[in-house]
Amino acid sequence: MNILVIPSWYNSPSNIILGSFFKEQALALKNDGNNVVMAYCETVGVRGFSTHHLYKITKQDEDGLLTYRYYVPSYGCDRFHKKFERTAIAYDRLLKRVLSEHKIDIIHVHSYDPAGTSITKLRNRYGIPVVYTEHYSNVLGELDSYHKKALEETINYSNAVVAVSHSLRDSMVKRFKREDVWVVSNILSPLFTFKPRINHSVFRFVSVGSLVEGKGHQLTIKAFHEAFCHNEKVELMIVGQGNYKNELAGLIKEFGEENRIKLTGTLPREKVAELMQESDAFVLPSFKETFGVSYIEAMACGLPVIGTRNGGFDEIFNEDNRFGYIIDVGDEEALANALEQVYCSIDNYDSKFISETTIQLYGADSFIKHVNEVYQSVLKKR
C-alpha cells in the first residue's frame, strides 16, 4: 500500500520531539511493508522568516522516512481567519509535488487544524481517499463559527474518521452525529521498554508533559512537598517546556525544593526513555487528556503510574491497582496519598507484567492491526 501521512504539527530544529508519534506511526507502517511518505506544511510568523526556507519544497530522508516539507508565511492568517484557505493553497502545491513523484493509495491526515481541513478541501481534486485521525480534545470545546465549520467539513468529507480513544470517539459521535468513527490508539514507541529497576539511594518520580496549566504540574509539586517534606530520599523530575515554567520554578523555590524537584526542559525521546527506565514511578495529574502517550510510555518501562480521571487515563488505567493509582482531577490530598502509597509499596508492583501488558495493547503490532482495518474498509468502498 502507498500511504501519504500528513500531520498538523511536526518536529522542527527548535522542538525536536514535537509530533514524534506521527513519525513513529509512519515508520511502523513502513516496516510493515508499505511505501510511506511524510508531508508537512507550516505557516511561519515573521520571526521565523530567517530560519525557514519559505516557498521552497524540500525533500529528504529523515530517520528512514522520506519527508517533504513546505513553509509559507502566515501574514496574520490566524488572526484574520484565513488559516485554512492559506494552508489549502499550500497543501495543493505540496500534494502536486508529492503526487508527481509517487503513487498514493490513501492519505492519512492527523487533526483537523490545519491539515485535516486543508486536505479534505482538496479531496475531490485528487480522487484519493482520506483517513482523518483526531488527537485533541479541543474539538469538543467551544469553537468559533470559522473553526466549527472547518471541523464539521473535515468530519463530513473524510472517507474515514478515527479517534485516539473511546472516550473521544463517543463524544465526537454524540456531538457531530457521525456514527462510523473508528478508534485507533496512539502507537507506543519501541524506545520504551522494560529494564530491571536498579535500587537507587534516592527514589525518583518522573513526570512528562508540557509545562502548561492543564498538565497539573503545579498540583504535583504541592502534593510531592506535602507527602515527602521530611523524606530526603525522594526526588521528582519534570520533563517538558511551556509557558508555565517560571510559575513552576517559583513554586519549587517557595517550598525550598530546588535540590529535590528538577525541571529538565525538553529532552530527546531517547533521553526520556532512559530517564523513565532509571526512575521508580510516574505521575501526571492532567486535567484532560484524549489519550496520554506519556502514561503508556512509562508503563512500557515497567513503572507504576499515577494519573487522573481525565478522559484518556481512565481508558488506559482501567481501575487496575496493579498499575498504580487513579484519582479525581484536582484532588491534591488524594495525589499526595497516592505518591506516598506508591513509594511505600513499590516492591509490590510487577514491573515486567506492567511493561508486557502495555506493549501488547499499544505496541506497533496492535497499531498496525487496527489501522489496517480502517484502510481496508476505505479502499473496499472505492
Band of residue 75 on the pLDDT scale cut at 50, 70, 90: confident
Same domain, 349 and 374: no
The answer on pLDDT for 319 being more than 70 is no
Same domain, 211 and 262: yes
Nearest to 112 by CA among 96, 141, 135: 135
- Residue 215 is given by DSSP the state G
- In this structure, how many other beta carbons lie within 10 angstroms of the beta carbon of residue 113? 21
Does a structural domain hold residue 198? no
Does a structural domain hold residue 193? no
Mean pLDDT value across the chain: 91
What domain range includes position 171?
2-187+363-380
CA distance 351 to 362: 16
> Is residue 19 left, alpha or beta, with left meaning phi > 0 and alpha meaning psi from -120 to 50?
left
Nearest to 207 by CA among 289, 348, 317, 307: 307
The answer on pLDDT for 347 being more than 80 is yes
Same domain, 254 and 337: yes
The answer on pLDDT for 50 being more than 70 is no
Same domain, 336 and 368: no
Same domain, 41 and 181: yes
Does a structural domain hold residue 196? no
Does a structural domain hold residue 343? yes
One-letter identity of residue 209: G
Same domain, 112 and 173: yes
Same domain, 344 and 376: no
Does a structural domain hold residue 176? yes
Band of residue 42 on the pLDDT scale cut at 50, 70, 90: confident
CATH number at residue 261: 3.40.50.2000
pLDDT digits (tens, 9 = 90+) for 264-287: 998 999 999 999 999 999 999 999
Query: What DSSP string describes 173-195?
Result: HHHH----EEE-PPPPPTT----
pLDDT digits (tens, 9 = 90+) for 350-370: 999 999 999 999 999 999 999
Number of domains observed in the structure of the chain: 2
Same domain, 314 and 373: no
Does a structural domain hold residue 213? yes
The residue count of the chain comes to 382
Q: What percent of the chain has pLDDT above 70?
A: 96
Same domain, 239 and 156: no
> Is residue 325 left, alpha or beta, with left meaning phi > 0 and alpha meaning psi from -120 to 50?
beta
- Residue 10 is given by DSSP the state -
Identify the residue with better confidence: 290 or 250.
250
CA distance 187 to 24: 7
Write down the pLDDT at residue 15. 73
CA distance 94 to 68: 8
Cell of 176: 457531530
The answer on pLDDT for 299 being more than 70 is yes
**Mean pLDDT calculated for residue range 213-238:** 95
Same domain, 247 and 314: yes
Does a structural domain hold residue 300? yes
Same domain, 66 and 157: yes
Cell of 66: 522520506
CA distance 217 to 347: 26
> Is residue 173 left, alpha or beta, with left meaning phi > 0 and alpha meaning psi from -120 to 50?
alpha
Same domain, 209 and 333: yes
pLDDT digits (tens, 9 = 90+) for 163-183: 999 888 998 998 888 899 999
Write down the pLDDT at residue 190. 93
CA distance 12 to 357: 33
Does a structural domain hold residue 168? yes
